[in-house]
Structure formats: structure tokens, C-alpha cells
Amino acid sequence: MSSQAVVSRQPQDWSYAATGDSPAGLPLSLSIYADRSRIRGILNEDAQAAGLRISVVSDLDALIGGDARPLGDVVLVDCPIADGVTLAALTRLDQRAAQTGAKLIVSTTVEALEDVFGCLDQSGAQILVDPDRADRVIALGHVLAQFPSARLRELSEDERHLLMRLTEQVGQIAGRIERLAPEQRAPDAAPASAAKPDRVLSPPQEGGAMRLTKPALPDPRLVRRIIRHRQLRARHFDGQLFGDPAWDMLLDLTAARAEHRRVSVTSLCIASGVPPTTALRWIGQMVEQGQFVRVGDQTDRRRAFIELSDSCADAMARYFVEVGTTAGPI
């Protein structure tokens, strides 16, 4: 990023002492960093409503200037502009959160997404794109569920999918009720868990047993044709009937891998067919499950790409072998 993009700010200290134990009794503290006073107020209200005690409310300069302040258990950051100062602050915050275990929720814009995503590569931050209030509340609930004090046991994979489905449904309902923003959130549904495809076996060799083989990825032209067929449905039917962001992203990454092409996070969000915040939530889930892999750009450290993991690529190859190379719309 050019030096011209770096803007200076007059530091303002909005910090204040912790307000004591939360009404819900949760021993969790929260820090808020935002330059826009209106957003600071909204984040403050929502955090208090969630029963968190607020330890810091400040602007973004506090993340990079002077002595480092202790982070809360949860850190909310609003950075609509990805200038040099903001990116430096986010990089530092990401490193500190990774070391301390703090949970980050960072809101940004579509224009700044690539740079912000590239900065947050260590802490597992949850990124929101042009969020409304409902998006922020849902993100906060996701983060709180990750603390040991807020759960009795680890969630199974099926329970994770159910939680994702319920979360998106709550988001849809909240968006329809609120109707404060001019844009409408596109509804979506989470994919149901599916059994893994059977292994592909080659014919037995003479005097030997059957052995496993590794099928090749399908012709990318076939995958692109399937993607186009899936997109055409929205011209004739309500899009709610076909929401399946995880599968749409799997198809896009499969074609890209066969084409030896890299996929940016923005491009993958578009391919998902759902709002960027929803797509990023699914990307994070797929990375956590080992289906997707985040790969840094060696020529530009501010950028990162998303790829299929080797095991996921093998699963997609086996799937296409099973359905046949002449498969129609999937």
C-alpha cells in the first residue's frame, strides 16, 4: 500500500475503567476500538446487553500508539477504511490476540476486505462485511459460545452445522424485523451433513488384492457448467430454495484447483452466492474443519488466498467419479 494511503489521526482516549461484574455473572471483559462515535455507541450498548463488562472503548490509534493496553477476552473493532495506520493496528492486534487467546470480531467493508483479511491470519478473527446490528449480535454470540465457561462440552460436526443453520435463520429473521438498512440480506441455508464418498478401488492386480487409487479432479469446464446451471435457477425460482454456500464454494475451488488458478477471499465470497459476512462465516468453518486452507501471497503479504485442502480435493475427485463425468446440474 502506498504511503499516500496512510492518514494521520489525532489520538483520542475513550477508555474507562471496567464496570464490574456483568449482570449474567460471566467473567468476560470486552474492548471496543472504533473511530466512528455512532458505532462505538452501538457496540457499547450491545456488549452491555450481552452481560459483558467493558474495559476499554477507544479509537483505532490506541491499538498502535503508546503502551499496549491489556486486551479484553473479546475485542470488537470497526475499520471501514484499510489505510496504512489501520492495517498496522490490525496486524499488531492479530498477533497480540493470538498470544493471549482474545477473540476478535472485526467489521469492515467490501472494498477493504482483501487487506483486512490478509492482516488477520493468526488469531482466527471473525470478519463482518458491512454488518448491520443483527450481524454484530450474532457474531458476538458465536464468540461467546467458544469460551469454556459458556459451554459444557465440545460440539460435534453435526451440531456445528445445526448451529450454523440456526444462526443464519436468526440473522434472516432479525434483518427482516429491523429493516433499517436499505440493502436486504440474501437468505441462505446451511448444508446438511453428508456421508463421505466411498473410496475408489482399482481392479485387482494379477495375484494381488484390490488397491486404493487417487482419481483426478474433473474437467474444470464441467464444474463451471454445473456452477452456471446452479446460478440459472435463481432466474426462475426463489433463491431461498437453493441456498447452499458451502457447496458453491467447494465447486468454485475445485474448478480453480483444476485450472491452477488462485482464488481470493472476495472472489470466493461472490461464488458462495450469499452476503460476504455469511460467506466468511462458512469459510472460517471450512478452514476449521480442514476442508479449506488459507494460503498467503508470497509476493504481497497483505493478501491471502483460499484453496481446497488435499484431503478435500481428493474427496471432490471421488465424488465426481461416483456421479460420472457426464453429470448434469448438481
Residues 6+ positions from 328 with CB-CB distance below 8 Å: 226, 229
Q: Is 207 left (phi over 0), alpha (psi -120 to 50) or beta?
A: left
End-to-end CA distance of the chain: give it in Å, rounded. Answer: 41
Please, what are the domains in the chain? Answer: 10-152 (3.40.50.2300), 153-201+213-325 (1.10.10.10)
pLDDT value at residue 170: 52
Cell of 152: 459444557
CA–CA distance, 235 with 303 (Å, rounded to integer): 34
pLDDT value at residue 168: 56
CA–CA distance, 233 with 213 (Å, rounded to integer): 35
Beta strands (DSSP E) in the chain are: 29-34, 53-58, 74-78, 103-108, 126-129, 201-202, 211-212, 263-264, 292-296, 304-308
Give me the sign of the Cα torsion angle 39, 45, 50, 51.
positive
Dihedral (Cα; 124, 175, 83, 69), 10-degree rounding: -50
Cell 474492548: give the residue: 31
Distances (CA, A) of 9 to 1, 60, 84, 87: 18, 9, 12, 14
94 contacts 121 by C-beta, under 8 angstroms: yes
Q: Is 324 left (phi over 0), alpha (psi -120 to 50) or beta?
A: left
How does DSSP assign 39-78, residue by residue? HHHHHHHHHHHTTPEEEEEE-GGGGTSSSPPPP-SEEEEE
pLDDT value at residue 60: 85
Give me the sign of the Cα torsion angle 315, 321, 325, 329.
negative
Residues of the chain with pLDDT under 50: 1-26, 150-155, 173, 176-202, 326-327
How crowded is residue 236: how many other Cβ atoms within 10 Å of its Cβ? 6
pLDDT value at residue 46: 84
107 contacts 36 by C-beta, under 8 angstroms: no
Query: Please, which contacts does 260-265 make with residues 24 or more away whose CB atoms are closer than 8 Å?
Result: 262/295, 262/305, 262/307, 263/305, 263/306, 263/307, 264/114, 264/303, 264/305, 264/306, 265/113, 265/114, 265/117, 265/304, 265/305, 265/306
CA–CA distance, 154 with 159 (Å, rounded to integer): 9
- The angle subtended at Cα 128 by Cα 126 and Cα 129, nearest 5°, is 150
Cell of 293: 486452507
Beta strands (DSSP E) in 88-181 are: 103-108, 126-129
13 contacts 58 by C-beta, under 8 angstroms: yes
Cell of 296: 498467503
